[in-house]
Structure 1
Amino acid sequence: MLSQAIAFYLLLLFEFKFKPCNLVIVNMANATRDVPAAFQYTTEPTEVRCQEKTRGGLSYEVILSEPEIKATPPKRPNSPNNKNVSIQDIEDKLRAAEERRQQLELNKVAALSAQIMKIEEASRKKDEQTTSFIATTRDALEQKMETHIEKREAYITELKNKMKDHIEVVEKTRLSLEQQCDEVRSALEDKMNTASHQRNENIKKMLERLKAHEEQVHTVRASNAVKFQQIEGTMQEKLEQAKLRREQLEQEQKDKLRTHHSRTIEIKSIHEARKTEVTTKMETKLTSAEQNREKEIQRKLDICKKHNERQEEVKENIEATEGVLKTERSKRLESKLSIAEQNREKEIQRKLEIIKKNERRAEIVRQNKANISDNQGVSSSG
């Protein structure tokens, strides 16, 4: 049945999805027809093949099968071994079962009644708490509302009183400000009148001063013209005097140049005489310095010769001492070599003697072995 349902579902699915679709159901499992439903545990696999034809000529094949479920059949309860049970035993068991059932029902009823009592007690306590809470909260709210109303009324009355006082103060200040404005306006009008009168007087004074200034300017200009004429005359005189003085200075400069030229010639002659004296002195100094240098060189050469002679003597002494030392060393080495040669010969002689002794011992041992082997051969033959 399950395989048929799966096949039908797949058929509907492919019909809705692909229009050109051919379904072929193969190997339907009919093994469960004759078996009761309680003992049907495994089903045969169902193979569904779907072939789809498209424009490109492609085809798809889908194979579906159910997994094998191997369920174990339910076990029957084991029957009692003793089948010979009397009616009295059965009635006793039924009576005991009835009593146990009644006892269980009574216990359940008692537990339910106790639980109901607890629930009723809890609900009663909850109702009492809620009523007490509501009453206390109502009283507190009413008290708060009363205090709030009283405070609000007191605050409103206080605000009204403050507003009245403020309005009175504002009215007083308004009146005082109007009075001050009138006073200021009258004072400004007085000041404007006095200022206009004073301005007219100042304008008249300024006009008078301008007239006096123009007259003074005319007088100053006339006096300046006279002064300019006087200054021009004095300037002309000063220019003539300066011209004469310049000519005198030029003449004096020419005289000074002439005297300076003659003096330079004298100074040149003096310098030449001094140069000749200095050159002669330098030549004498150079000759003396050259002589002193040659003497110093000769002295140093003598010192070098003496030093070389001393070095030669020292070298000769060193060579002599080295020759003596070499001879002594060679003698010592020869003596040491001779002693070493003697010791080596003695050591060689000693080793040769030891080798000879070892050879003798080996010869004796070989002879002893040969004698022993001969004796053994004789004894074995005998």
Structure 2
Amino acid sequence: MEVQTKSTEIRCQEMSKGGLAYEVILAEPVGVPAPVPRRADSPDKTPSVEEIQEKLKAAEERRRSLEQSKMAVIAQKMAKIEEASRIRSEQTNNFITATKEALDAKMETHEEKREAYINELRARLKDHLEGVEKTRLTLEQQTAEVYKAIEDKMTTAADKRDENLKKMIERLREHTNKLEVVRSTISAKAEEISKDIETKLTTAELNREKEMQKKLDIIKKQERRAEIVRQNKNARADSEAPTQG
């Protein structure tokens, strides 16, 4: 009667630190009648220790070769990613530098125009105040002349002193009122000009700050975009790396 046997089984298990472990299991013969003694397996069908070691060595070499190939591919990809990231970072830095230089030049030009405008307004205000001062001196001189005329007429016209005095006082009152109106108008005009200058200065300063903030926002946006590109490239590189263990 023929003896049915199972082939020898070799189990391979990958260890946690990258090694391989093999387990050799010799199968028992099946289908043999009870009285018939068990036939010994042929020695040539049982793998020897040398063969097992050779298989393990070949498997280890294949695993190392495959791992080296993967690492070489990953290294090439990482080199390309790093080069692209370097070029992108250099372009971003160049853009930021150029933008800052252009912004500084524009702000300097704006500052010069602003100073020239302020100086022009100050010169106009100075001229106006000088005119106001001349008007005030003229009015004071006219007032002094009126007082002097009153005194003269009071001295030379005693008989008409009361009547003339009333007229002079009325004229003086009217002149004083006129002077007060002129002073009020001049003060209001000077205050209006001062407020107008202050408003224009404030508006110019706000516009300058807005322009600067707009340029800074563009620079920050470019920096955030470059950072996102670097993070995405690093994430792809990590996902393509072989799993160890």
Q: TM-score range by the shorter chain?
A: 0.3 to 0.5
Q: Which has the higher helix share?
A: 1
- Higher relative contact order, structure no. (Cα contacts within 8 Å, ≥ 6 residues apart): 2
Larger CA Rg, structure 1 vs 2: 1
